[in-house]
Amino acid sequence: MIEIDGSYGEGGGQILRTAIALSAIIKEDVTIKNIRRNRPKEGLKPQHLKSIETIAMICDADVKGLFPGSTQIYFSPSEIRGVKTNISIGTAGSIPLLMQSIMPIAAHSPEKTSLRITGGTDVAWSPSIDYIKEVTLKALSKMGYRASIRLIERGYYPKGGGAVEIEITPSRIKGVDFKAEKNEIYGVSHCSNLPEHVAKRQADSARKLLEEYGRKSHIESKTENYLSTGSGITLWSGLMGSVNIGKKGLPAENVGSQAAQMLLDELLAKAAVDIHLADQLIPYMGIAGNGSFTTRELTPHCLTNIHVTEQFLDVHFAITRDNGLNKISVE
Ligand SMILES: Nc1ncnc2c1ncn2[C@@H]1O[C@H](COP(=O)(O)OP(=O)(O)OP(=O)(O)O)[C@@H](O)[C@H]1O
């Protein structure tokens, strides 16, 4: 049995997602203690509970300690199988983060996995659904990963009510040496139950700042009347993305220009992947047993994911410097 200390490094929910996913893939029991110790309110939140419940269903696992606020769980997996089911995280729990926990496992199933997930699609401290589709999945597809994602309705904090369908096809993950790419910039600026000009102003201000740096962009504006009220913007270019969520008191112009600035920070660094994709790729590179990328900054999320992945798989990640960037390679 593997023991993981959930307070290590970043000490957040990602340790849990990576540990449970890898436990299911290598079929080895795991105990995780001190869950989310470094967060203001430690223990399992609805998003984490639903992730573990869904993974337990996919691999017929025996789980102990699965309740809201729990700080220790024991997870004992069996065979992975394809499932077709609906999952409701409730309110605005992050759909992309639940997907992050399930995606590595579903690729190892002998059958397809089809999930319809309800919750939040565009919430703070999480990739947006557009980021998962346009950045994460694009990188993973280069590694042989096969999935399709369909956005049905957006869900914003606090009401949620968003819905997404994901279908994952069994696939073999292979390592890739990711290189910096030069691509056009795309984006989607959206709002719900707010005037049309909110999404438009977000898009216009992002476009304007990108133009000042000589970058042309194609940003769609969308206004809908969904269950929840909110706004946001996701920009992407190759394997770089940026996400910003609107909030009361933050002018739409700032939502757009901050997203553009975050993307520019990534593009100007000329690394292969952005700082968020970097941490997300680690478990897949571990599974593949090879691959590399450069990234602008090594985040605590990335370093923690490396540590957790190394506890489960017989891999070592080397961290070196390459032309002023951080290079991560599987050895
Ligand atoms: N703006 C963003 N764009 C893309 N990915 C993001 C963004 N913000 C966060 N992420 C990703 O979301 C994940 C967040 O993990 P983290 O452990 O912080 O979340 P969590 O499960 O909600 O836990 P906690 O509530 O404990 O913070 C990481 O993979 C991170 O890279």
**pLDDT for the residue numbered 185:** 98
**pLDDT for the residue numbered 243:** 98
Please give the distance, rounded to the nearest whole angstrom, from the Cα atom of residue 97 to the centre of ligand 1: 7
Burial of 249 (0-12, 13-18, 19+ CB in 10 A): exposed
Please give the distance, rounded to the nearest whole angstrom, from the Cα atom of residue 96 to the centre of ligand 1: 9
With contact defined as beta carbons under 8 Å apart, do 64 and 32 qualify?
A: no
Is residue 22's pLDDT more than 90? yes
Please give the distance, rounded to the nearest whole angstrom, from the Cα atom of residue 260 to the centre of ligand 1: 19
Q: What is the pLDDT of residues 29-71, one digit of tens each?
A: 999 999 999 999 999 998 899 999 999 999 999 999 999 999 9
Mean pLDDT, rounded, for 238-244: 98
Residue of 7, 41, 125, 234 to test ligand 1 pocket, by largest number of atoms within 8 Å of CB: 125
Mean pLDDT lowest among 7-11, 240-244, 285-289: 7-11
Q: Whose CA is nearest to atom 27 of ligand 1?
A: 12
Catalytic residue (choose from 218, 301, 307, 316)? 301
Is residue 313's pLDDT more than 90? yes
Residue of 41, 128, 233, 301 to test ligand 1 pocket, by largest number of atoms within 8 Å of CB: 301
Q: How far apart are CA 232 and CA 243, in angstroms?
A: 8
Q: Which residues line ligand 1 (CB under 6 A)?
A: 12-14, 36, 39, 97, 125-127, 131, 243, 276, 279-280, 301
Average pLDDT of the residues of the chain: 97
Q: Whose CA is nearest to atom 14 of ligand 1?
A: 126
285 DSSP assignment: H
Q: How far apart are CA 166 and CA 169, in angstroms?
A: 10
**pLDDT for the residue numbered 91:** 86
Mean pLDDT, rounded, for 235-242: 98
Identify which has the larger pLDDT, 69 or 181: 69
- The ipTM assigned to this model is 0.92
Please give the distance, rounded to the nearest whole angstrom, from the Cα atom of residue 125 to the centre of ligand 1: 5
Please give the distance, rounded to the nearest whole angstrom, from the Cα atom of residue 183 to the centre of ligand 1: 25
**pLDDT for the residue numbered 90:** 86
Q: What is the pLDDT of residues 119-167, one digit of tens each?
A: 999 999 999 999 999 999 999 999 999 999 999 999 999 999 999 999 9
Q: Whose CA is nearest to atom 6 of ligand 1?
A: 127
Q: How far apart are CA 57 and CA 82, in angstroms?
A: 10
With contact defined as beta carbons under 8 Å apart, do 275 and 305 qualify?
A: no
Q: Whose CA is nearest to atom 21 of ligand 1?
A: 13
**pLDDT for the residue numbered 267:** 97
* DSSP E strand stretches across 104-261: 113-119, 146-153, 162-169, 185-192, 217-224, 230-237, 240-245
Percentage, residues of the chain above pLDDT 70:
100
Mean pLDDT, rounded, for 83-92: 94
Residues flagged as binding site for ATP = 100, 276-280
Strands 62-64 and 84-88: unpaired
Residue of 4, 14, 121, 281 to test ligand 1 pocket, by largest number of atoms within 8 Å of CB: 14
**pLDDT for the residue numbered 38:** 93
**pLDDT for the residue numbered 103:** 98
Domains of the chain: 1-79 (3.30.110), 81-172 (3.65.10.20), 185-269 (3.30.360.20)
Closest C-alpha to 231, from 248, 214, 206: 248
Please give the distance, rounded to the nearest whole angstrom, from the Cα atom of residue 13 to the centre of ligand 1: 8
With contact defined as beta carbons under 8 Å apart, do 325 and 273 qualify?
A: no
* Cβ count near 315 (within 10 Å): 17
Decide: helix, strand or coil at residue 227.
coil
Q: Whose CA is nearest to atom 13 of ligand 1?
A: 126
Residues flagged as binding site = 100, 276-280
Closest C-alpha to 221, from 177, 251, 188, 252: 188
Is residue 311's pLDDT more than 90? yes
Closest ligand 1 atom, CA of 274? 4
Provide Rg for the chain, Cα atoms: 19
301 is catalytic: yes
Burial of 311 (0-12, 13-18, 19+ CB in 10 A): middle
Closest ligand 1 atom, CA of 299? 31
Q: How far apart are CA 147 and CA 106, in angstroms?
A: 10
